[in-house]
Structure 1
Amino acid sequence: MDEPRNRTTALDRFEELAGTRIYRGNAFAATGLPMNATGRAVRQQRQRLEARLAVQETWPGDADSPLAGDYRWEEVRAAFEQFQDARRRIVDELLWRWGDTDLGCDCPAESHLAHDRAVLAHARALEAATGRSPVPAEEARALWRGAGNGWAATLADPSFRGHIARRTEALAEDRRVAALTPDDILNELPRLLVSPFGELAADPGTRAELARICPHFSRHEVFAPLVAEGFERIVDEGFEEINAALLAAEKDKRAGRYADALKKLRERVHPTYEELRTYWPFISDWRREDLSHLVALGMNNLAVALFLYHTRRPASVEQSVSLVELAELAVRIAPGRDRDDIVENLRLIRQHHAANLRRAKVQPDGKVVDVKPRGCLLVLIALAGIVGAVVVGVNGGFVPAMLTASGAATLFGLVAILGNTGKERNT
């Protein structure tokens, strides 16, 4: 009964290091101890650092560390505690540089070098991604490429499994290590190595770059499902945001608040959808299609509702343009199963838009002349002039009637000229 519990306890260290602190929280990085440090060496180093940090706030840790920033005593003390449990210590060993230290593992020298290169590339890439040690974008991507390729090769190297087995045996004076097998560690280590991606994805500012660097890991079979799993969670969160916004827009639409519904689609649904498209290469086909279907359907349904509304109440040119843009966006997003119906709706909406432009008398230069208010006023002036001339002619004779008609004609001309110069606007 004790073995399963011990096996689970042995993996707690993986959870503690998950995220962008995977190297920053390493016990060897914080204490500066060599990989083969014995109990006595650990105690002596602790005493030295405790005295040093009693008179200064921080110390830099491992002298050859690729990490930026110093360590406070609280961090150093927590690091020393990892050496009290060999099951936890071995996890930290695997995630730091081995160098030329004799670990009694009989591994080929090249295997140790390859492991160290992977650790250094990954640590430096994370320092750059978190802003602790900024480097140019191209250099950072090269580090991620080296980390992904290096760790994939290390995990696939049979000597790495042998290294874990021998180090477990070397630490076996702690009988609890006997419950920990190389397979336990090899099953959990890949998940720990990609765990920083989830933390980096929480910052919208890093997501676009994240989509460029994740392929360096996801191209490897050992990492691909784990990277996909992380991005599926992000897409799930985005799906919930989009669904909530679509439900709110649907409520506005049913209440006749079309402008509010359109605003929600423009400002909440579409930007979130475009952000999630960044992760398309890492998630399943059905997940992409499901989300595209949801968004395209919401946009199409609002476009159809607006179209039907404006068949009863003519739209302005601006409203008509917005309607076409919404329908076009629905077509661009629609997956194959929805495309034909949404394309047909777009065709009808474009016809309606063309009729609106003809009614508004769009000029060749793209300007729209809205003539309806002015046209009504000109008709009224003409009618008033005719009626006035007749009345004046009956009561006052021919000359007054001509003067009245002439005045009406002059007013008619002025209104026409002023209307043409004052009612133009860009579509």
Structure 2
Amino acid sequence: MTDAVVTALREIANRDLYQRNAFHVTALPTNADRRTTRRRQQHVIAVLEAGADLETTGSRDPDELRIAFDRLLGDPRRRMVDEVFGEWGRPNGDCGCDVPVHQAHDEAVYAHASAIELLLERPSTSSHPATLGMWQRASERWTTALADPQFWQHLRNRVLTLDDWQLAASAVDQIRSEVPATLTGPLIDLATTGDYPARVVIMLREWAVGGASVQGWVLDALRPQYERAEDATVALLRRLQQGYHQVDPVIAELERSVLPVYRRLQVLLPSEQHQRTLALRDDVARVYQNSAVGIANEGSVQDTRITHLFDQAEGYAGTADMRALIAENRAGVAQLVSIDRFRPQHAAQPESSLGTGCIVGIVVAIAIVTYIVIGLLS
């Protein structure tokens, strides 16, 4: 069972790491005792009930304030986690720290919070150097702070000061183990759900806090997206087996639900380096290709959609085998088109059929395409 400290650290590992911090929301110092916290809570509740404006808190949202006070007055393990990412301020003698210890911590917090805010802004050429510089600075500041033994001694002293049976000394070791992943969390959150993953990739290269573990954290975070995209492509290929009338809705669904995920994966875990992305890339190409062959085999070889679908398939194909298969299918359909042009115009043929007639070449071409379709969909 995961301890409450680790659970809390993982819950806050996102772009709101500092914005939702309980001490930031309530504007309380991280060394505030329960009595001070309770008084602030009562004051805030009274002000909100009176309909007056709050000027002494970092947030004016009643729900956000309620959650923050619950964290501070509830489980001390969760409060301890918020202390790590709150402002420590100048030492007052309770924790036994020297001024530089708190200063180094707060500089890291400010730099990291500012870096996240910059990355949330719409990208522009002028903002890129500033954003990159801020992320480099945040990485350096947190690396320096975490390397100082007094940083961890401060947390041990805080455990003793809080003096709660739920908060054991081992909480500090859990924080030490988990905090690099928590600090990397905002980048991973923005990489997996943000609008500009390409920017995040650049910042991840400058983020030294997680070290070699960062790549593994990115993989773990993207695993659900892989699974959704893979399941979706399998379902779309099965739908194509129902007939060429499914092509338009299948392509629409592919471009709506699969391609955005694939493009994000291609940016973060490119197919040139990651086999799973490469496999998904070929699956996307297969959907386009099977759609083209389906139309040619069951509908009309003159259908203008076929060329576009083959072009898309070739564009997405990632392996030599897939490219060869697409070329083979395209050549087969081209042969059908050539034969269809010489078909007698007076012959009564349904538009959706390639026809058989008495020309042996047509029969052979249809057999080729049918064989290809069966092989692809089996």
> One fold, TM greater than 0.5?
yes
- Taking the TM superposition and a 5 Å limit, the aligned residue runs for 1:171-250 are 171-172=159-160, 173-195=163-185, 206-207=194-195, 209-217=196-204, 220=207, 221=211, 222-250=213-241
Q: Residues 175 and 161 (structure 1 numbering): CA distance in 2 closer, same or farther, change over 3 Å?
A: farther
Residue 98 (1) aligns with residue 88 (2): yes
Q: CA deviation at 1:247?
A: 1.3
- Contact (CA 8 Å) 2:76, 2:164: kept in 1 or not? yes
Tell me the residue number matched to 1:153.
140
Tell me the residue number matched to 2:36.
41
TM-superposition CA deviations, 1:305-357 (whole Å, max 9, x none): 444457xxx633xx0x322222222222222232223223323434544666x
Give the unaligned 5+ runs of structure 2. 347-378
Please state whether the residue corresponding to 1:331 is helix, strand or coil: helix
Q: Residues 306 and 76 (structure 1 numbering): CA distance in 2 closer, same or farther, change over 3 Å?
A: closer
Please state whether the residue corresponding to 1:25 is helix, strand or coil: coil
Taking structure 2 as the reference length, the TM-score comes to 0.71
Q: CA deviation at 1:155?
A: 4.5
Looking at structure 2, the residues matched to 148 and 194 of structure 1 have their Cα atoms a distance apart, in angstroms, of: 11
Looking at structure 1, the residues matched to 293 and 35 of structure 2 have their Cα atoms a distance apart, in angstroms, of: 78
- Contact (CA 8 Å) 2:159, 2:169: kept in 1 or not? no
Q: CA deviation at 1:291?
A: 0.9
Tell me the residue number matched to 2:327.
343
- Taking the TM superposition and a 5 Å limit, the aligned residue runs for 1:18-417 are 18-56=13-51, 59-60=54-55, 62=57, 70-72=60-62, 74-84=63-73, 85-102=75-92, 104-106=96-98, 107-108=100-101, 111-122=104-115, 124-125=117-118, 129=120, 135-138=121-124, 145=132, 148-157=135-144, 158-159=146-147, 162-172=150-160, 173-195=163-185, 206-207=194-195, 209-217=196-204, 220=207, 221=211, 222-252=213-243, 258=244, 260-275=245-260, 276-283=262-269, 285-309=274-298, 315-316=301-302, 319=303, 321-336=304-319, 337-353=321-337, 372=345
Q: CA deviation at 1:36?
A: 2.8
Q: CA deviation at 1:19?
A: 4.2
Q: CA deviation at 1:113?
A: 4.8
- Contact (CA 8 Å) 2:77, 2:171: kept in 1 or not? no
Q: Which has the higher helix share?
A: 1
Looking at structure 2, the residues matched to 99 and 227 of structure 1 have their Cα atoms a distance apart, in angstroms, of: 33
Aligned residues: 329
Looking at structure 1, the residues matched to 165 and 141 of structure 2 have their Cα atoms a distance apart, in angstroms, of: 28
Q: Residues 194 and 113 (structure 1 numbering): CA distance in 2 closer, same or farther, change over 3 Å?
A: closer
Looking at structure 1, the residues matched to 237 and 181 of structure 2 have their Cα atoms a distance apart, in angstroms, of: 34
Q: CA deviation at 1:141?
A: 5.8
Looking at structure 2, the residues matched to 247 and 60 of structure 1 have their Cα atoms a distance apart, in angstroms, of: 59
Q: Residues 144 and 100 (structure 1 numbering): CA distance in 2 closer, same or farther, change over 3 Å?
A: farther
Q: CA deviation at 1:11?
A: 2.8
Q: CA deviation at 1:293?
A: 2.4
Q: CA deviation at 1:240?
A: 1.9
Looking at structure 2, the residues matched to 250 and 70 of structure 1 have their Cα atoms a distance apart, in angstroms, of: 56
Tell me the residue number matched to 2:3.
8
Q: Residues 58 and 164 (structure 1 numbering): CA distance in 2 closer, same or farther, change over 3 Å?
A: farther
Give the unaligned 5+ runs of structure 1. 130-134, 253-257, 361-370, 374-427
- Contact (CA 8 Å) 2:22, 2:69: kept in 1 or not? yes
- Contact (CA 8 Å) 1:17, 1:192: kept in 2 or not? yes
Q: Residues 240 and 142 (structure 1 numbering): CA distance in 2 closer, same or farther, change over 3 Å?
A: farther
Looking at structure 2, the residues matched to 341 and 264 of structure 1 have their Cα atoms a distance apart, in angstroms, of: 24
Looking at structure 2, the residues matched to 169 and 213 of structure 1 have their Cα atoms a distance apart, in angstroms, of: 36
Residue type of the alignment partner of 1:279? L
Residue type of the alignment partner of 1:96? G
Taking structure 1 as the reference length, the TM-score comes to 0.64
Q: CA deviation at 1:31?
A: 1.7
- Contact (CA 8 Å) 1:60, 1:71: kept in 2 or not? no
Q: CA deviation at 1:297?
A: 2.7
The answer to which of 242-251 and 42-51 deviates more is 42-51
Looking at structure 2, the residues matched to 224 and 270 of structure 1 have their Cα atoms a distance apart, in angstroms, of: 28
Looking at structure 2, the residues matched to 120 and 238 of structure 1 have their Cα atoms a distance apart, in angstroms, of: 33
Looking at structure 2, the residues matched to 298 and 193 of structure 1 have their Cα atoms a distance apart, in angstroms, of: 39
Looking at structure 2, the residues matched to 54 and 163 of structure 1 have their Cα atoms a distance apart, in angstroms, of: 40
Looking at structure 2, the residues matched to 210 and 281 of structure 1 have their Cα atoms a distance apart, in angstroms, of: 7
Higher RCO structure (Cα 8 Å, ≥6 apart): 2
- Contact (CA 8 Å) 2:191, 2:268: kept in 1 or not? no
Q: Residues 315 and 350 (structure 1 numbering): CA distance in 2 closer, same or farther, change over 3 Å?
A: closer
Q: CA deviation at 1:47?
A: 4.1
Please state whether the residue corresponding to 2:259 is helix, strand or coil: helix
- Contact (CA 8 Å) 2:114, 2:134: kept in 1 or not? yes
TM-superposition CA deviations, 1:125-184 (whole Å, max 9, x none): 47xx4xxxxx55338766764664345334433445641332222331334433434441
Looking at structure 1, the residues matched to 256 and 67 of structure 2 have their Cα atoms a distance apart, in angstroms, of: 43
User: Percent identity, aligned pairs only?
Assistant: 21
